[in-house]
Chains A and B, each alone.
Chain A
Amino acid sequence: MPLVDPITMASAVSKKGAASQTVTVESSASPAAETYNLLPVSINQAPLAQTLRHAQPLLLSGALTLVFSSLVKDPVATMSSTTLPLTAAVQAAYAVICLPVAGRGANDTAKKTKPRPGEKVSKKKAKEGGNNAYVLAALSLLITALVTPFIYITMILFGAPLLTHGSHTLLCAAHLSLLGLFPLFYVHGVDASAWAAVGGFRAPLDETFGGLVGALVGAWLGAVPIPLDWDRDWQRWPVTILVGIYGGYVLGKVIGGTVAWGKKF
């Protein structure tokens, strides 16, 4: 059947032939998977990290619940003065305490689906972050801020209002990148191949990638209630989208970090 899946054939032939010798049935769905592999991120084992890991979703959703009424009343003020700084702080603390530093663990690549018995186990080095972690968190925040305009443009492409509600959408985009992208910047830095895997949705699920997928799907599903004729204030842009982002992120992160850990699309 060479013609049904021409792209698969083309890529299998042209790309890194040595690596793609173990073609399995599943891998034909994501043919490039065998050429590059990202390991799922493990959370630091320290008690504090484990506590924060579980507390973070509660903190985020609790904070959103508390400010919900003021969010409905004045979305821009609430997002810019309350939820955005708070989420940034929570995410930064979560990254520094719970996540392995870029280049030390998650970012290691393997040439095969399963690590060989003799291969180094990178988790051990994860705690060595130290000062490095704070610098990295700050840098990641900076990159997060830099990509926010691109998220904004993507939101416009997906139907966000262009001429009105500019700051609403921009703040919404900032939340999306802070929740979905910031942890990934922290663990992967700007490693192009890692981001290619994330961008092509072939990275393994973990707390970071699961959170991103959840936040994106949540933002998308958040648009569903807007057209309904319930005439509620919270149907106004961008309340449902923001709630969708938070809900999706928390759900995706929890699922990605537990039952679906290490699985791929």
Chain B
Amino acid sequence: MSPRRSRDGGTLSTVLLVAANILIPVAIFVFGKGFFPYKPLLPGLATYGESSVYGEPPKAQFDKLVFMVIDALRSDFVYTENSGFKFTQSLIRDGSALPFTAHATSPTVTMPRLKAITTGSIPSFLDVVLNLDEGDESSSLASQDTWLAQMRKKGTGKLVMYGDDTWLKLFPGMFDRAEGTTSFFVSDFTEVDNNVTRHVPAELKRNDWNTMVLHYLGLDHIGHKGGPRSPHMLSKQHEMDGIVKQIYQAIESQDHLKSTLFVVCGDHGMNDAGNHGASSAGETSPALVFMSPKLKKLNKRLGAPLPEKANFQYYDTVEQSDLAPTLAALMGVPVPKNNLGATIPDFLPFWSDHEVKAEILMRNADQMMQVATAAFGQKMFEWSFKEDGKPETDDQKLAAGYMEFERLYQQVYRGGSPDLYEEMIPKAGNWLHEAQEFLSGMASNYDTPKMVLGLVASITALLIAVIAAYSSVSDKPSAFIPFAIVTLAYGAMMFASSYVEEEQHFWYWATTAWFGYLGFRGLNRRSPHPVAHTITFGAILLAARIIKSWNQTGQKFAGSPDITTLYLHTSPILLWCLVGATYFWIQQHLTYGLSSLPIWLSFAASTGLVLAAFTFKIAFVLEDAPELVTEFVQKLLQLNFSQESAVDLVARARAVFIGIGILMTASLGYMGLRKQISLGQPGIFTFLTLLTLFLATQSRVTNIPLFLLYNLQFRLLLSSVAELSPVEISLSSLLLQYTSFFAQGGSNAVSSVDLSSAYNGVAAYSALSVGVLTFLSNWAGPVWWGVASVILLLSKRQQLGGEVNVFKGHVAVTTVFVAAAGTGVMAACGVLRDHLFIWTVFSPKYLYVVAWAGAVHLGVGVGVGGGLYALGVREGMGRVK
């Protein structure tokens, strides 16, 4: 026989392995620092300043502002013939409303959009993450300049806010009166909006505010639930139009409101499936309407409704950030300091003097130039001090344009002819838009040295991990070939945007081939039971086939039918049969898993806990997707604890979590004390059953039956562990982890992150618990397989005679994979940094790789897995068999 290397490679390989696993997060962090844009933010609030070149600040045209955000209000919802906004359209026709399509940049989710609207700046990509992590302090705008802060500083009245509590998180302490609504359950179409509307009449009577913000979520919920053509959509539009009418008529009729500007806008749009987050035309084209009887002065009587357009661009298109300087001018406050928006010129006729109009544009330009100078420094102007100096770089050209602009302005200001003004206006508009485009693009200024450093660190980690894996896995080198192929192909895949979007195909494709190969190879090896062997791998393949058609995911075929939409949504009875079967199976296994306890105790504990979890799920679905709950299932709610079906969801979830926590602790304690918690199997099986119950609680109800299939695959693999070498177990584990992630509906798009279970048992927001729950609900499959793999490894260890540290080999192999994936995504993001899809495809993928490397690999694979493996070894898995 060929000579083998030492069984676990000794201390050196351990040191290398630890080094690689420290280097991976460091590499990810350093690269991320360089890759994700950093924008210098100017602190403090803007003032009109004491400049000699300006006269008095331009006079305010309005003294009150009603700012009504209708979440996901796509342009065509307001402007086309099928719209429910009939009153709004009549205002457009008679000139008292001025409509626009406001271009929202990706990511089209609420928090970054609100930042753009209020500050006028383009939020960096990282705001998407902070949008999910809502409690993060750094995403708060408390210290940033916004038109809200300016209105507050103006001091002519209070600020009030009703609607989406994102505003309250963004602006802590900003509002004098406020009530936030949360969107835990998208099935809530009415209550969430009624909670806003009920405050409106009273506030319209008051005269103590100068800014009222309303944010309606119902329309977005309808979109998420039923898409833009949902039967609920039109009636919701009628409802919103009614509120517009109510407010507008109050402005018309009541004296204290007569100088009120009323703005209605969407924060983003939606795509044809009713989702948002990316950059399709539907998602980036919300409506924006300015309304006031005073607008008739502008003499714009535009046509309404308009015929439908495929690109959703109705009337003039402006940038969403243009709202900030426009509002500032109309309300008579300074433009927020970090604004990159350009004043919408349609409103300039409000001021009669050319000098004032010019001044408004000049102040906007001055402010933008300050942003530019903060980023580029004085070198922008250096060329102008030299003789024959010419602007060369883009920033210098910007400065040159600014100087030209300023020269013209000076002439207008000193009383130049109207012609001069006419000459200046288009130039000013052009410069503002150039500056806007250039400075927004500046958000993608990369710190190349950091990116290179991160990449080099990642490559180093990969090399170290390869050496560690080579010396700590006792397999024949040829056994690494399939793993190497998968790893290399995955790294290469990062460069193909379509394969990043459709990553599930890679894993489904590789998984079936791998288990097909194992099946055939078993025949080759003449296993003692060829029929049983064929059935085993046939069943694994069959389960894999069912698992991958459970949820359609990715971009290209996102709407195609899958098991969930085709069978589970149409037949709730089938759904609840499968879900019930899963819970029943868990109950059976849990009873068995606690069988060293007295029978009454093990039975009572498992039944009580499973019932609590099952009824929580029913109560949750009743809120989240009531159409899935049949009458019979609803009756089941009464099985547990209370006759009332309305026991608080938070309390229900906590009861389940506490129960699972106690039993998990007990099972681990028994393992540590080398006692049996289950009479027939090692304690780690009991732990896995409890974990299944927990992850089912954190999964969408339609995904719960998947755990039955995972378990089938796992038991079959466990029975053929002898046929698999350690590296083959690691490869199987990786493939099943990734397959399960995508089969649950995961993808590499930020919009596919499922937050519905992130608040289970959480009463007051806490970043840590919501973050952990979000991770566990979106990565439920990978976490399950991560723990199940530990059992496979323990079983392999036992089969090899208990001398080999198979876990170390497993960590070495998965570290190679994670380092290769990291290297691949860094190289792709680096090379393709000017690619059209860099912010929509590759950057989200980078964040997903961070989650896979940090949470799945280091947290679950190394951390939890290492602990369980050590306990399993201590317990002496196999002793009880």
Contact = CB atoms under 8 A, between A and B. Distances in A.
A1 interface: yes
Contacts of A201: 520-521, 524
B844 to A, nearest CB: 16
A229 interface: yes
A46 interface: no
A28 B541 CA distance: 28
Interface stretch (A5-13, A65-73, A89-97, A136-144): A5-13
Given A163-B561, A223-B509, A228-B498, A14 B528 contact: yes
A202 interface: yes
Nearest to B554: A227
A30 B499 CA distance: 36
Interface in B525-566: 525-528, 538, 541-542, 544-545, 548-549, 554, 556, 561, 566
B512 A7 contact: no
Given A1-B4, A158-B516, A228 B499 contact: yes
Nearest to B530: A196
Contact of A156 (B474, B508, B513, B545): B545
B139 to A, nearest CB: 32
Nearest to B545: A157
A96 to B, nearest CB: 30
Contacts of A17: none
Nearest to B513: A220
A200 interface: yes
Given A15-B526, A31-B526, A158-B512, A227 B520 contact: no
B561 A223 contact: no
A223 B489 CA distance: 14
B280 to A, nearest CB: 13
A25 B542 contact: no
Interface in B575-600: none
A250 to B, nearest CB: 21
B230 to A, nearest CB: 25
Interface string A83-113: 0000000000000000000000000000000
B800 A200 contact: no
A199 interface: yes
Contact of A159 (B4, B512, B521): B512
B33 interface: no
A255 interface: no
B474 A4 contact: yes
B509 A159 contact: yes
B524 A32 contact: yes
A62 to B, nearest CB: 30
Interface in A130-184: 156-159, 162-163
Contacts of A1: 1, 4
Interface string B402-421: 00000000000000000000
Contacts of A48: none
Interface in B1-41: 1-2, 4
A226 interface: yes
B801 interface: yes
Contacts of A11: 525-526, 528
B520 A159 contact: no
B639 interface: no
A223 B505 contact: yes
B497 interface: yes
A229 B723 contact: no
B712 interface: no
B501 interface: yes
Contact of B526 (A28, A32, A157, A226): A32
Interface string A12-29: 001100000000010011
A203 to B, nearest CB: 10
B453 interface: no
A259 interface: no
Contact of A10 (B523, B528, B566): B528
Contacts of A3: 799-801
A94 B554 CA distance: 44
B291 to A, nearest CB: 41
Nearest to A28: B1
B545 A199 contact: no
A196 B505 contact: no
A111 B521 CA distance: 22
B498 A227 contact: yes
Contacts of B513: 158, 220
A15 B526 CA distance: 9
Contact of A227 (B523, B545, B556, B800): B556
B525 A32 contact: yes
Interface string A50-83: 0000000000000000000000000000000000
Given A7-B525, A31-B525, A227 B512 contact: no
B4 A200 contact: no
B527 A7 contact: yes
Given A199-B520, A227-B556, A159 B498 contact: no
A228 B521 CA distance: 31
Interface string B706-719: 00000000000000
Contacts of A226: 505
Contacts of A162: 549
Contacts of B636: none
Interface string B799-818: 11100000000000000000
A227 B524 contact: no
B443 to A, nearest CB: 25
A227 B505 contact: yes
Nearest to B544: A157
B658 interface: no
B505 A7 contact: no
B509 to A, nearest CB: 6
Contacts of A220: 509, 513
Contacts of B566: 163
A153 to B, nearest CB: 10
Nearest to B502: A227
A202 B474 CA distance: 25
A200 B4 CA distance: 27
A229 B501 contact: yes
Given A7-B722, A201-B521, A25 B2 contact: yes
A199 B527 CA distance: 13
B592 to A, nearest CB: 29
Nearest to A197: B524
B178 to A, nearest CB: 44
A11 B801 CA distance: 20
B442 interface: no
Contacts of A6: 722, 799
A159 B526 contact: no
B358 to A, nearest CB: 48
Contacts of A199: 520, 523
Nearest to A202: B524
Contact of A229 (B497, B525, B800): B497
Nearest to B4: A1
B495 to A, nearest CB: 12
Given A157-B542, A162-B549, A200 B523 contact: yes
Contact of B4 (A4, A10, A163): A4
Given A4-B800, A158-B516, A220-B513, A200 B497 contact: no
26 contacts: A1-B1, A1-B4, A3-B801, A7-B722, A8-B525, A14-B528, A28-B1, A29-B478, A31-B525, A31-B526, A32-B525, A156-B545, A157-B542, A157-B545, A158-B513, A158-B516, A162-B549, A199-B520, A200-B520, A200-B521, A200-B523, A201-B520, A223-B505, A227-B501, A227-B556, A228-B498
Closest 3 A-B residue pairs measured CB to CB? A200-B524, A227-B502, A200-B523
Interface of B: 1-2, 4, 474, 478, 496-499, 501-502, 505, 508-509, 512-513, 516, 520-521, 523-528, 538, 541-542, 544-545, 548-549, 554, 556, 561, 566, 722-723, 799-801
Given A227-B502, A229-B501, 13 more contacts: A3-B800, A6-B722, A7-B527, A11-B525, A11-B526, A30-B525, A31-B526, A159-B512, A163-B561, A223-B505, A227-B498, A227-B501, A228-B499
